[in-house]
């Protein structure tokens, strides 16, 4: 169970993202984002070592707000071989130095996201300890995910966001630019998906597909 500390972060998560987001191929805003954290959820690391957060960051720097999904992991030491996935480092008021990574390239986050899709774990509230997030919906119609670790070969592009292909042919997709949809929307060809929520500028709750799982026969 992740414990949410009421403390300071220097720099803040949004300050790290303000310099990192414009370097992503799926970012569609200006070179100077104006970010607000508007939603998301957390997952627990079974080992209790890695913080896992799926953050919705809304950028108001352009003509219209754009909502980005940023899965992040927080570690107490660098993740070996993940230098290119490093978003930045922070000083946590309780835990000390923390290394923040793009979670799409972190095997702990990917494993827990797949467990969420299959229904083996529960999404947790973003800012509360030991509190399930019942706004997060998941669906899975497969016969079990491919065995073995999911290779960390994530690719980013403007059209699909982030894709993680498995050696068995399936593909996990993380949707980066979020567009509000109906609560029962399912991505075409997907055998599993996760829907999350965030706060819209008009003070209503918006929902969209955060991640989807596609079988080998369905090419993205």
26 pLDDT band (50/70/90 cuts)?
A: very high
Dump strand ranges (E) for the chain.
Answer: 9-10, 35-43, 51-59, 66-75, 86-92, 96-102, 137-140, 155-157, 161-165, 171-174, 177-178, 192-199, 205-214
pLDDT at 30: 79
67 vs 91, residue with greater confidence: 67
Candidate ranges 5-9, 143-147, 156-160; pick with highest mean pLDDT: 156-160
| Chain segment 59-76, per-residue pLDDT in tens | 999 889 999 999 999 998
Q: From CA 49, how far away is CA 166, in angstroms rounded?
A: 25
Give the least confident one: 34-38, 41-45, 74-78, 124-128. Answer: 124-128
pTM: 0.91
Are the CB atoms for 159 and 185 separated by under 8 Å?
A: no
Say whether pLDDT at 142 is over 80.
no
pLDDT at 63: 85
């Amino acid at each position: 169970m992740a414990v949410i500390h009421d403390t300071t972060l220097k720099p803040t998560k949004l300050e790290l993202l303000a310099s990192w987001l414009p370097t992503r191929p799926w970012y569609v805003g200006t070179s100077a984002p104006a970010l607000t954290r508007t939603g998301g959820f957390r997952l627990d690391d079974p080992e209790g070592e890695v913080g896992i957060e799926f953050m919705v960051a809304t950028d108001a720097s352009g003509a219209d707000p754009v909502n980005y999904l940023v899965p992040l992991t927080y570690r107490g030491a660098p993740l070996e071989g993940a230098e290119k996935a490093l978003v930045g480092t922070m000083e946590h008021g309780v835990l000390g130095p923390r290394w923040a990574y793009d979670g799409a390239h972190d095997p702990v986050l990917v494993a827990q996201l797949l467990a969420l899709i299959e229904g083996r774990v529960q999404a947790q509230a973003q800012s509360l300890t030991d509190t399930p997030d019942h706004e997060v919906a998941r669906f899975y119609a497969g016969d079990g995910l491919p065995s073995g670790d999911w290779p960390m070969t994530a690719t980013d592009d403007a059209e699909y966001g982030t894709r993680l292909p498995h050696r068995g042919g399936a593909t996990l997709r993380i949707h980066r630019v979020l567009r509000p949809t109906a609560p029962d929307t399912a991505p075409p060809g997907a055998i599993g998906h996760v829907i999350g929520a965030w706060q819209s500028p008009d003070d209503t709750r918006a929902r969209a597909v955060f991640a989807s799982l596609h079988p080998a026969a369905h090419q993205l």
